[in-house]
Structures are given as structure tokens and as C-alpha cells.
Amino acid sequence: MIEALISFSVATLALAISPGPDNIYVLTQSLINGTKSGIATTAGLISGCIVHTTLLAFGISAIITTSETLFYGIKVLGACYLLFLAYKVYQSDDAILLTTDAPKKSYWELFKTGVIMNLLNPKVMIFFLAFFPGFLWDKDGNTVTQFYVLGIVFMVVSFLTFSSIAVMAGRISNIIVEKKGVGVFLKWLQILVFVGIALYIIAV
């Protein structure tokens, strides 16, 4: 059991560090809204994993992924949500002011966005279905419990990794807070991130 969990933790850490839509989104939010906002976003993304773990543990993921129509529908729904977020950013002021007086999204809003992004990304479901079973340490034992243990380890390792990204990005934000033109750049960076993730979900 210990060896399996250590191997699983190492693999999860490698995946969390690798550039991907989730950690890029956390990086963007941390640059714009600060470290705490990045951590709130991280908490939302990680919380969504509870649902995916539950679906996997009780075999529902396998049922959903066998329906091509349902699977594609989830992908489209997730992409549309991300494009909607990009449109909302586009409608905002021409520049994002990185000052302590600038209006920011609440931690709760960022948390909810992270949860929805995670739940509407079917690639997470596929990843869990493909990744977790290989680390079961007793296939003849209670697999539901084992899946939940793996899910908890995955969430803890990912949360710590993403939070570290948020802290580093938050420090960068403090350094560039008074740089002219940065606000406009980060606004369009947000838009590109949302659109890019939407295209990623549909295309991959």
C-alpha cells in the first residue's frame, strides 16, 4: 500500500507541474488578483475532483464515457462556459488595474469558477478512469475505499503544487503592479486562456 501511494504521489506531482490548462489558469488568476485568489481558484479546481473520484469509485464514469453523444455534449457544454467567461472579460474595462483598490472577483466566485471548470472538463473524467486503476494496491479488496484514498492523495498533492504556483505568481504581481500596459496585457491573457482551454477541450 505504501509503495503504491508513494508511486502515485510522484506521478501526480509530475502531472501537476507539467504545463496544462488548470495550472495556467491558476497562474493567470494569481497574476491578476493575487495569491489568495489563485489559491481560491485552486481550491475550486481540486474540489471538483471529489465528484470525479466518486463517479470513478462507483463505476459511473465508465458508463458515461461509453456514450459518445453524452461525452461530446459535456465537452461542448464545458467549452461554451469557458467562451462565456472570455466574453465577460472582453466586456470589462480596457485595462485591468493591478492595484489594491481595483475591484476583484470574490474568493467564492473564483472557487465556483474552478469547480465548474473541473466538472465540465470531460478529460478529467477520462484521466481519472485511465490513471487511478493502475495504482490500486489490492484489486481483490474494497476498491471503492482505495479509489477514495487515491483521490484524496491526488487532491492534496495537486493543491499544494497549484498553491505554490499561486504564491510565486502573486509575488510577481506585486513587482509589476505599477508597470504601464500590464493591465491590458493581462486582460487579453485571460481571454486567450479561456478561449485556449475551450478549444483544447473540444479538439483533444
Domain ranges of the chain: 23-203
Residue 89's nearest CA partner among 197, 187, 195 is 187
- pLDDT score at 79: 83
Residue 111's nearest CA partner among 64, 168, 41 is 41
pTM above 0.85, yes or no: no
Cβ–Cβ < 8 Å for 202, 78: no
- pLDDT score at 100: 45
- pLDDT score at 53: 92
Question: Which residues in the chain come in under a pLDDT of 70?
Answer: 19-20, 60-61, 63-65, 93-104, 172-183, 186, 204
Cβ–Cβ < 8 Å for 111, 41: yes
- pLDDT score at 46: 94
Q: How many CA atoms lie within 13 A of 36 on its CB side?
A: 6
